[in-house]
Amino acid sequence: MNLIRRTLLSASIAISILGMNASIAAEPIKIGLVAALSGQSALSGAAISKGLAIAIDQINAAGGLLNGRKLELVRRDDESNPAKGVVAARELIFKEKVAVIFGGLDTPVSMAIVPLVNQEKIPFMGPWAAGTPITNNGANPNFVFRVSAVDEIVDQGMVDYAQKTFKTSKFGLILVNNPWGESNEKGLKAALAAKGLTAVGSEKFEANDVDIVPQLTRLKAAGADTLFLVGNVGPSAQVVKSLDRMGWKVPIVSHWGPAGGRFTELAGPNAKDVHFVQTYSFFGAQSPVGEKVVKALMAKYPEIKGPEDISPAVGVANAYDGMLLVAQAIAQAGSTEGDAIRRAFYQLDDVTGLIKKYSKPFKPGVHDALTKDDYVWARFIDNRILPVSLN
């Protein structure tokens, strides 16, 4: 009888252990997202969400990660507000226990979250916000990575593009008055200095300004023949409307802020005159990965009938590629522990995404996966974001 009891007890313990292991294996790996899901920039958050969702669906369909654990996306709305972004990130870290956090469109929000994720050792992947100090933040170890544009590289591209496209040389800077504007003011001035040029003027505006005529008037008086614009959807639209009121037709070369929301609706017919940077376009011939993603988007989201409905493309593409890199890092780490994932990012090999094939995209001191060779230029044509070469 004692032997039978011991055998039954051992079997019971074994079953309990198996049940615990099965429970752990079945527990989802939570991926957090803090982005603008409402307001003027809500399209950016929606695009990032779609890119993440498609990548997660594909990873889960292939069996998940770490012996079958499925990925689960947990979203929070930052409303483009840094304080709300930090609250959202804290909730994702301490309540939801996410393995990784993805950021959104706004550089000030990401900048506010960076100290928190570095302190708590939670990897952060930036799919949109381009402020140089987001990844170049001085932390050691640094838990912040990015698949996105980088201001100082975009700024060089803006100068090159303006000279090539418009044959101009007297550049005026019109920048939102926040950390993103400051990052680009520094980058644009450095890019101009590298060509032996200086800006004829540099003006700032607040994100809630509705009249930017005084600043633009000063740039016009200084002789600007091209404007470099840095601002998100609403503020950039106010710049275009202020130019309309002045009757000043001047080339505008912009960072990608206008692509993040209802720019054509807010800016009016002259929205088409703004040329801006992108990292991807779903128009034109697609790679096998691109064809697969387009098909998946159309199947999952009934409102998407074709490439013209995948907008803003950068949000979808950057988030999709970022999620593939995150998934590979988790798999390579064999763990959801933050520092193990961080170290695994440095070991990544040959991850094929939408934008390109990534081979060792990160190393200590280099936390940005994209380079200046990965950018394209676009305009709004008939309310669609089209590469300039396809206009």
- Residue from 31, 85, 15 nearest 326 by CA: 31
Would you say 121 and 345 are in contact if contact means Cβ atoms under 8 Å apart?
no
**In degrees rounded to 5, what are phi and psi of residue 84?**
-70, -30
The residues that bridge with 35 in the sheet, in sequence order, are: 77
The DSSP secondary structure of 90-122, one letter per residue, reads HHHHHTS--SEEE--S-HHHHHHHHHHHHHHT-
pLDDT at residue 305, as a whole number: 94
pLDDT at residue 205, as a whole number: 97
Would you say 35 and 47 are in contact if contact means Cβ atoms under 8 Å apart?
no
In the chain, the largest separation of any two C-alpha atoms, in whole Å, equals 101
| Angle of CA points 353, 55, 73, to nearest 5° | 140
pLDDT at residue 222, as a whole number: 98
| Cβ atoms < 10 Å from Cβ of 259 | 28
Q: What is the amino acid identity at position 214? A: P
Paired tokens of 152 = 């100082």
pLDDT at residue 176, as a whole number: 96
Residues of the chain with pLDDT under 50: 8, 11, 14-15, 17-18, 20, 22-23, 390-391
| Cβ atoms < 10 Å from Cβ of 318 | 31
Measured in residues, the chain has a length of 391
Domains assigned to the chain: 24-149+284-371 (3.40.50.2300), 152-278 (3.40.50.2300)
